[in-house]
Amino acid sequence: MTEKITIAVVGSGYVGLVASVCFAEIGHRVICVDNDESKIAMLRGGEIPIFEEYLPELLERHRNTSIEFTTDLDAATQKAQAIFVAVGTPQSQTGSADLSYVDAVASQIARSITEYKVIVEKSTVPVYTNEWISRVIERNGVPRELFDVTSNPEFLREGTAVVDFLHGDRIVIGVDNERAANLLRKIYEPLTSGEYYQMADSVPGARSEADPPPLLQTSTKAAELIKHASNAFLAMKISFINVVSNICEAAGADVEEVSQGIGSDGRIGPKFLKAGIGYGGSCFPKDVAAFRYVAEQLGVDFGLLREVEKINADQKRRFFQKVRSALWTFRGKKLGILGLAFKGGTDDIRESPAIELISQFLKEGCIVSAYDPAAVERTKEVLPPSGTLSYAKDSYEAATDADALLILTDWREFTDLDLDRLRYTLRYPIVIDGRNLFDRAIMAEKGFTYLSVGRAGGVHAKDALSSRLS
């Protein structure tokens, strides 16, 4: 039987809440702390502030038994053996990670340490952050032998966060001594031993008793670097395929075929090779910038990451131009927009390319009717409904009488749309797909003018090719 550990998780956002619920699910006692009183009140009442598959069921299963919610970090610190810090680390003006939330939590934790605690960085932080946290805690008068600071980066993806947590590719623990390593290994033992997957009601996923996730034990600094380097690498893959998609458009090839050909190489892999309108979200943009900044501070020129960022910004501009070329003028044109979240499966709109593009269309005088299966409420907070912006209750309402339909998020439900109905709902049957969700031949057969990204036959492909040949 696995030993029950008392864990405090500070921050109840996408990472903190998922980690809290999953730690309870694998048998630990969890105190989830947030300084946002309204969030804690919601969670105590059984409501969930974010949209994630399995989260409602798991919370219901463990609420009032092995998971509690509080704003009292001092009490949580006193009770817990391990304190996971999962607060935000947003981008500062210089591009570096703003660590003020981590700093504030470290100082507050320090005030309540009277016996040995393991502090775990769950937030994505630059290398050396563990040393800063130790310094802050020591400065607050805590003897060095009463705590260890470790790193346990989180690799979950929004939209599949619970499954990713419980069925991860790997669990990384960055530790600089055995005492802390022991505790972290115990916390993850139900997963690494395979015990969790034997349970009748365990969340299904890729891992099993016979194939549990491996635990990688590294130095704290290496663990911090693993997270930044992983995200920078994935962002690089996306930017790479986006440039390839632009070459495909100019050359008259289909990026989907090219991507399949590249991704079938086991050394490269098919994931994150999907051409589109650029990456967004709360992680990639800020983590690429932060990693570039860290490199700079350490005297290393990581110009590659500057290029990754530039390509990502260009990709949104190209899509904007594609819409302009299809519609000629913008003022007074009605756009139906499908997708607001930065990717399908989540309600997160942070750094979403869709939000940026909609703002630009509105500035150009377009009339926008937008729909997203999960992110409408969050979007209303940053783009309130107005005379020129409304939110539809479904895709067909968004498309009604529109001069064109734009697809900006890769929600699976968009691929199930009734194309005949859509065709007659639109004023003009123009679909501009920033996520390559549809088969071009089917769209043509259904009578659409269908433009997508990096696939021959779009206006850009023809234009670019004919201008080169003339």
Decide whether 33 or 337 has the Cβ nearer to ligand NAD. 33
Strands (DSSP E) found in 305-366: 334-338
Minimum distance between the CB of residue 62 and ligand NAD, rounded to whole angstroms? 19
User: Which tokens sit at 386?
Assistant: 């107005």
Choice from 124, 315, 369, 409 touching ligand NAD (CB under 6 A): 124
Active site residue 32: no
The region of 87-95, 186-194, 254-262, 407-415 touching ligand NAD under the rule CB under 6 A is 87-95
Residue 174 host element (H or E): strand 171-174
**Mapping DSSP to helix (H, G, I), strand (E, B) and coil, where does residue 146 land?**
helix
Q: Whose Cβ is closer to ligand NAD: residue 56's or residue 194's?
A: 56
Residues in region 19-38 near ligand NAD by CB under 6 A? 33-36
Q: How far is Cα of residue 342 from the mean position of the Cα atoms in its chain?
A: 8
Contact between 16 and ligand NAD by CB under 6 A: the answer reads yes
Binding residue for ligand NAD, selected from 89, 91, 352, 369, defined by CB under 6 A? 89
* The one among 5, 82, 83, 86 contacting ligand NAD by CB under 6 A: 86
> Are 4 and 24 in contact, with CB atoms under 8 Å apart?
no
Can you tell me the distance from the alpha carbon of 202 to that of 207, in angstroms, rounded to the nearest whole number?
11
The residue from 52, 68, 148, 158 that contacts ligand NAD (CB under 6 A) is: 158
Convert 66-88 to b/e letters by CB count within 10 Å (16 or more is b): bbbbbeebeebbebbbbbbbbbb
For residue 464 the two structure tokens come to 């670019």
The CA distance from 436 to 468, in Å, is: 25
- Smaller CB separation from ligand NAD, 409 or 452: 409
DSSP secondary structure letter of residue 367: E
Q: Report CA dihedral (458, 464, 467, 470) to the nearest 10 degrees.
A: -80
Contact 73, 117 (CB under 8 A): no
Does residue 174 bind ligand NAD (CB under 6 A)?
A: no
Which lies closer to ligand NAD via its Cβ, residue 157 or residue 427? 157
Q: Which residue is nearest to ligand NAD (CB)?
A: 13
Q: Which of 22, 248, 283, 366 is catalytic?
A: 283
H-state helical runs in 375-458 = 376-382, 395-399, 419-425, 440-445
Residue from 12, 151, 246, 369 touching ligand NAD (CB under 6 A): that is 12
Give the one residue of 31, 105, 109, 406 binding ligand NAD; rule: CB under 6 A. Answer: 105
What residue ranges bind ligand NAD (CB under 6 A)? 10-16, 33-36, 39, 73, 86-89, 101, 104-105, 123-124, 154, 156, 158, 282-283
Q: Which residues are catalytic?
A: 283
